[in-house]
Structure 1
Amino acid sequence: MKTSGLNFRHLYFFYMVAKEGGVTRAAERLGLAVQTISMQLALLEQSIGKQLLEPQGRRLVPTEAGKLALNYCEQIFLLGDQLQDALEASDAGTMRLTVGISDSLPKLVAYRLLQATQQLDQQVRLVCMEDEFESLLADLALGKLDVVLTDRTVRAGGSLKVFSHLLGESDMQLYGTQHLARRYRRNFPASLHGAPLLLPTRNNALRGRIDAWFIEHGVRPEIAGEFEDNAMLNTFGRNGMGLFFAPAALEADIKAQFGVVLVGHAPELREQFYAISNARKITHPAIEAILNTVHDGPFSVSV
């Protein structure tokens, strides 16, 4: 059997230096002497016959060979972490589910969808990470995530072999503080002409439908803010900066969490929710639980 001859301890030190941008910061992070890190980096470069790091200003950055090595390190140490987690979960009788949550997805929706995993006979340990949609897809393709929850589907013909599974959809409603609701509730939606609105940014799947809805009803609101992150949008809405849309299926939660009231119902506007997996057929029991029980939840599902 062929062995690489690599010292994985030395490789881990390289990985940390590349991530931290310098030996000193990596040594502080690891609780080791700077000389120890430097010596073992030198031994690693000597053993493979290539320079992996080079100075750039005050930082150390990977060379071309270092970039290649760093990509492999990401996968090696990710698999090591997953192995340790799997062994610990096996001893504890738990199942691990690593979920990527798109920053545009309402967090209350993510919570409702993931509730299904807590109804299984085997305990599920959730590991949730939030990021931009494209970054999450890349992590999913690399095996860093089991599933991505998002408000958009993966476009056909992409280079990543990932698959979209429609979980459900909901009508949208407009919410605001008591003060704003009193002002703009009457004669809705015509009353929204000039009203302060908080909207998702234009790369959000819902934004185009909202803009079309405004045109259809002949209103031109005042855009008070645009947000990539849905949680931040809701926070500004709770504090009265403007009116904001949210799923009708979560009306009770929206009112309770953000202290806002209903301004009007927009049944023509619908938001979809998807699970993205790296396999066409779902096999993870916890993800299957989401797919199988979502029909009994607050979201109506398009067939």
Structure 2
Amino acid sequence: MYNFNHLYYFYMTVKSGGVTIAAKYLSVSQPSLSGQLKVLEEFLQIKLFKKVGRKNELTREGAIIFGYCRQMFELSQEMHETITEQIPHAYRRIYVGVSNEIAHSFVVEVISHFLKKYDPQLRPKVTMISGTHEKLEEQLRFREIDVFVSQLSAKSTDLENLEKVEVPVNLVCTLDKKLETQKRNLSINKVLSAIDELGLHRWVVPSAGFKLRSEINDYFEQNSLKGDIVFESDVIESLTRSVVDKVGISFLPLIYVPKELENKLIYSFGPKRGFWKHRIWIACNVGNQEDLIVNSLAHSFKEVCSPLISR
């Protein structure tokens, strides 16, 4: 009789692309996983893998076994999804991955909007998890999370980009008295030069390596902007707070600062379309693209972004 654990270990090893990633996903050590695969080979009396250069590839027999395993475990997953769809929303928990380059307050706003669509007793439960884009993409492939929100699109064929928004990025700052008196007379093209003349060119920026930081660097270079970087952070919300506290000025996507703009704690300078567009995606596993809860969350993502983008 086949040991289904051994077959599942083999299936996940092939699907994930190797023992290292599979062992991490399965929460077993690499030697233990390799040992289980060896036991399966001995039971089947065939070789499942062959060495090609530095990589292991499936043998002909291994490919046949994997084909059956894929059908078996994908059918099992389909059964799970069918049953899950029958579970009342109140018993569902949705795991939302958020890139550490995205303002978490923005995603909380999306989740809040999503939950308000349901009666309090029937609302799904939500767990929000942060990490790098690469880590979240891996978790989404293995369905450890249901969706992710990221500054990069999902590239894997196992994943589906549900929505993309292009967010205007403008200059945000508090109003210096001199700048306030001139604000109405400033054309968009003169905003940055006026700030430079008034000596307000102290910048707060995201940490090096962030996509938004790269966009800011490119804009600085293209427009010969000057100034001192007085604060940089890998926490987007801290940039907003630094602007409010007059530590410096910044370029920020407008969907990250709606309340600050509404309450006039800071002001936005620039064209309505923004100096440039910052893109944000929400993605899911292809196996979940028909899931009503996942699609409801993606729709909320779009609904929250739309009015903020059109300001």
Fold shared per TM-score above 0.5: yes
Identify the residue that residue 289 of structure 2 maps to in structure 1.
Answer: 282
| 2:223 maps to which of 206, 217, 222 | 217
Q: Greater CA deviation, 220-229 or 184-193? A: 184-193
What 5-or-longer segments of structure 2 have no aligned partner? 6-27, 36-79
Query: 1 CA distance for matches of 2:34 and 2:246?
Result: 49
What are the equivalent positions in structure 2 for 1:136-285 lying under 5 Å apart?
136-155=136-155, 161-179=158-176, 182=179, 187-193=190-196, 195-249=201-255, 251-255=257-261, 260-265=265-270, 267-279=274-286, 282-285=289-292
**CA distance 1:265–1:141, shift in 2 (3 Å):** same
The yes-or-no answer on 1:123 pairing with 2:123 is: yes
**CA distance 1:281–1:124, shift in 2 (3 Å):** closer
User: Displacement, 1:295?
Assistant: 4.3
Identify the residue that residue 22 of structure 1 maps to in structure 2.
Answer: none
Query: 2 CA distance for matches of 1:280 and 1:63?
Result: 28
| 2:90 maps to which of 93, 107, 112 | 93
Alignment length, in residue pairs? 228
**CA distance 1:206–1:292, shift in 2 (3 Å):** same
Instruction: For 1:154, give the aligned amino acid.
Output: A
CA deviations on 1:172-209 (whole Å, 9 max, x unpaired) are: 22223455994896641123547111112342222333
User: Displacement, 1:103?
Assistant: 1.1
Question: Percent identity over the alignment?
Answer: 12
Q: Secondary structure at the match of 1:260?
A: coil
User: Displacement, 1:124?
Assistant: 1.4
What 5-or-longer segments of structure 1 have no aligned partner? 6-61, 70-82
Instruction: For 1:243, give the aligned amino acid.
Output: I
Query: 2 CA distance for matches of 1:64 and 1:152?
Result: 30
Calculate the aligned-residue CA RMSD, in Å.
4.0
Instruction: For 1:237, give the aligned amino acid.
Output: V
Q: Secondary structure at the match of 2:191?
A: coil
Contact 2:171 2:252 in 1 (8 A): yes
Query: 2 CA distance for matches of 1:151 and 1:144?
Result: 20
Contact 1:181 1:262 in 2 (8 A): no
Instruction: For 2:90, give the aligned amino acid.
Output: G
Query: 1 CA distance for matches of 2:33 and 2:241?
Result: 40
**CA distance 1:91–1:166, shift in 2 (3 Å):** closer
**CA distance 1:291–1:4, shift in 2 (3 Å):** closer
**CA distance 1:292–1:298, shift in 2 (3 Å):** closer
Query: 2 CA distance for matches of 1:256 and 1:67?
Result: 55
- Greater percentage in helix: 2
Query: 1 CA distance for matches of 2:261 and 2:169?
Result: 14
Query: 2 CA distance for matches of 1:202 and 1:99?
Result: 25
